[in-house]
Structure 1
Amino acid sequence: MIFEAVQAVLMVVVIIAIGYFVARKGWAGKTVTDFISNLIVNVTLPCTAVMAFLTSFTAETLADSWVYILASFAAIGITWLAAKLVIQIAKIEKERRGVFTALFSFSNSVFIGLPVATAIFGEEALVFALFYYVANTTFMNSLGFIEIARDGMELSCGGKGVRFSAKEILKKIFKPPMLAVIAGFVLVMLNVRLPAFLSSALTYVGNVTSPLALMFVGMILQRTGLSCIKKFDRGISWALVGRYAVSPLVMLGVTACMGLAAFPSEVLTIQMSLPAMVTTTIFAEISGADTEFAARGVAVTTLLSFLTIPIYILLFTYL
């Protein structure tokens, strides 16, 4: 069980390392990373979101399982608010607050979350992990993207403080990733099934999202220097607290208050206690935010998960 979970993390590290090697060879300069980030956000990630809904849910499962989706939304929302409190306590720099909130609040629920859930609990855990994915993705593609975009604006104006108009907020929310989540939800609720050729095309395109995003993290780490991982400033330190202490405790509290059974509660808690979401780095790059800080956060939380995931497995197995 522990071996399978650690293998999922090892796979992530290997793909990040490939991205680092590609950049080190000089094959992935700024033009290439700009292209990759835009390709993921505008093309491959939306394909992934639509197909995740169509292949994982029916109108009945979504309607019958609202309590698990609600628990996920509530836990992530509370963690997001906790990140806001930490920002004030730790005095996180204005131009890093959006990236910090994403690192603190949102987990890598697809590339690590799904393999870890099935490795620990079996195939029956997959559906609960996907319920969490819906909430996690919706939050990241809306609030997460807006706040990271605000970081970019802060950097461009010298940290003087920025405010988005309602129109600007709507434009940033309704980007392709969020539109894809909405489209996927609507298609499922209307029982629409895509033609086989279109479904296959979206699946093939969407399948490159996670490996591309992970290689992108490696490319950014090479650009900024691998030694940046050793920089445990207060932003990274508090992000680790959010990922591996606050997030799982919040989910345990929410599921207890809602009276959920032990099995789904444990699956959802594991999903909350995973490394930071890789998309954080992608959104930072296309928004002109602190990509180096985002890449460090993703890399450090991923490496630390070699220790934390086995601990969680032992806790849920023997307690």
Structure 2
Amino acid sequence: MSVDLFLKLFTLFVVVGIGYGAARAGLTGGVVGLRTLSNIGFLVFVPGLLFRTTATVNLAALPWRLLAAFFVPLLLWALGVWAWQRRRMVPGTDDPAAPATRAVTLSFGNSVQVGLPFAAALFGEEGLRLHVALVSLHALLLLSPFTVLAEADRARAAARHTGALAIGETLLTIARQTLVHPVVLPVLLGLAWNLTGLALPQWLDSVLKMLGQGAVPLCLVLIGVALDQYGLGPRWSVPAGMAALKLLVLPALVAASGVLVFHLDGLPLSVLVMAAALPVGSNALLFAQRYRVLEGEASAVIVLSTAGFALTAPLWLMVLAWWRVAGG
């Protein structure tokens, strides 16, 4: 890993540390302050970022084979985690949104704060263009379906608990809570605007761009505040194991998909694998905070996977170099 990339990772830890220090100094208002910061991020900054991304992306120019090679195994992996966690749930004890939250934590990579400078430094302009294509659909294809699953699981649990909701009313509740949601609604509105073919007014684009830029530092500060609130927890081995799964197993699955199913090689394969090998992104913590479940675990996995990325990124680059030499 180059010195420049190491310094960028170090910068992320500094901002997280600032959030942690502010929380330790009592400047963030404890649990109430954490909720407030989380709500600002999830209800203001992230919707602005999602709307602008989906409203302005050029759908016709996207490299669809690369996207399929990345998102098909990624979504299958996330759905597998969700299904496995649902089977292990204890009804009446575990939060119904926990399986979807763990699925997002084990799947959502830091494709912006770490991914963009990493792709630019390693793969140049062409590689960055391919990585940006992945970024443009990342939140849409991961957060939206698992928001639906989290809302559906909670609605079904509520119906079983009260016995008051009929099937039709349950479905209506799921649909309402899913559509009127700070992730799904801006994505749908952005896609609707995109399909009109109209450009965003300059003033609106400037506002949305500013909100999107604010999401990055706020999310990093939130990680530090959450670490002060929850710590790594007594069972720190659990988030460490989750970080290892994200950094080692998921990239292997995506690499296998790219080679064996979609027959990619060269630069597209390298961009694909390194995007899957990124550490967990801060949106995983926002998702956990939205449902008030596994927040400490999510923050711990983010920090541990970011630190671990300094070791696993060179490993995956060596694997890719070996594959090129072997004639893959």
Calculate the TM-score normalised by the size of structure 2: 0.82
The one of 306, 309, 320 aligned to 1:316: 320
Match of 1:242 in 2: 245
| Distance in 1, Cα, partners of 2:299 & 2:205 | 32
Q: Which amino acid aligns with 1:221?
A: L
| Distance in 1, Cα, partners of 2:201 & 2:86 | 50
Match of 1:77 in 2: 75
The one of 153, 173, 181 aligned to 2:178: 173
The one of 118, 121, 124 aligned to 1:119: 121
The answer as to whether partners of 2:288 and 2:294 remain within 8 angstroms in 1 is yes
Q: Which amino acid aligns with 2:70?
A: S
The answer as to whether partners of 1:117 and 1:267 remain within 8 angstroms in 2 is yes
1:8-27 Cα distance to aligned partner (Å, 9 max, x none): 32222111111101111111
Q: Say which structure, 1 or 2, has more relative contact order (CA 8 Å, 6+ apart).
A: 1
Instruction: After TM superposition, give the deviation of residue 313 of structure 1 in Å.
Output: 3.0
Aligned-residue CA RMSD in angstroms? Answer: 3.1
| Distance in 2, Cα, partners of 1:74 & 1:8 | 30
Deviates more, 1:1-10 or 1:113-122: 1-10
The one of 186, 191, 216 aligned to 1:185: 191
Structure 1 gaps, min length 5: none
Match of 1:294 in 2: 298
Structure 1 pair 261–317 and aligned structure 2 pair: CA distance change class (3 A)? closer
The answer as to whether partners of 1:54 and 1:188 remain within 8 angstroms in 2 is yes
1:123-156 Cα distance to aligned partner (Å, 9 max, x none): 21122212222443123322333455689899x9
Instruction: After TM superposition, give the deviation of residue 213 of structure 1 in Å.
Output: 0.8
Q: Which amino acid aligns with 1:299?
A: V
The one of 259, 262, 281 aligned to 1:258: 262
SS for the counterpart of 1:110 is coil
| Distance in 1, Cα, partners of 2:131 & 2:153 | 30
Deviates more, 1:128-137 or 1:291-300: 128-137
Deviates more, 1:176-185 or 1:266-275: 176-185
The one of 208, 214, 224 aligned to 1:208: 214
Instruction: After TM superposition, give the deviation of residue 271 of structure 1 in Å.
Output: 0.9
The answer as to whether partners of 2:17 and 2:224 remain within 8 angstroms in 1 is yes
1:152-179 Cα distance to aligned partner (Å, 9 max, x none): 899x99xx8x999333433343312222
Instruction: After TM superposition, give the deviation of residue 189 of structure 1 in Å.
Output: 4.0
Match of 2:48 in 1: 47
| Distance in 2, Cα, partners of 1:38 & 1:146 | 19
Q: Which amino acid aligns with 2:99?
A: R
Q: Which amino acid aligns with 1:27?
A: L
| Distance in 1, Cα, partners of 2:153 & 2:28 | 25
| Distance in 2, Cα, partners of 1:187 & 1:44 | 19
User: What is the identity percentage for the equivalent residue pairs of Structure 1 and Structure 2?
Assistant: 22
Calculate the TM-score normalised by the size of structure 1: 0.84
The answer as to whether partners of 1:72 and 1:251 remain within 8 angstroms in 2 is yes
Structure 1 pair 84–47 and aligned structure 2 pair: CA distance change class (3 A)? closer
Instruction: After TM superposition, give the deviation of residue 224 of structure 1 in Å.
Output: 2.0
Instruction: After TM superposition, give the deviation of residue 277 of structure 1 in Å.
Output: 2.3
| Distance in 1, Cα, partners of 2:220 & 2:114 | 11
| Distance in 2, Cα, partners of 1:197 & 1:50 | 15
Instruction: After TM superposition, give the deviation of residue 116 of structure 1 in Å.
Output: 1.2
Q: Which amino acid aligns with 2:119?
A: A
Match of 2:4 in 1: 4
Match of 1:32 in 2: 33
The answer as to whether partners of 2:151 and 2:178 remain within 8 angstroms in 1 is no
Structure 1 pair 110–247 and aligned structure 2 pair: CA distance change class (3 A)? same
Deviates more, 1:204-213 or 1:133-142: 133-142
Match of 2:134 in 1: 132
Match of 1:219 in 2: 225
Q: How many residues align?
A: 309
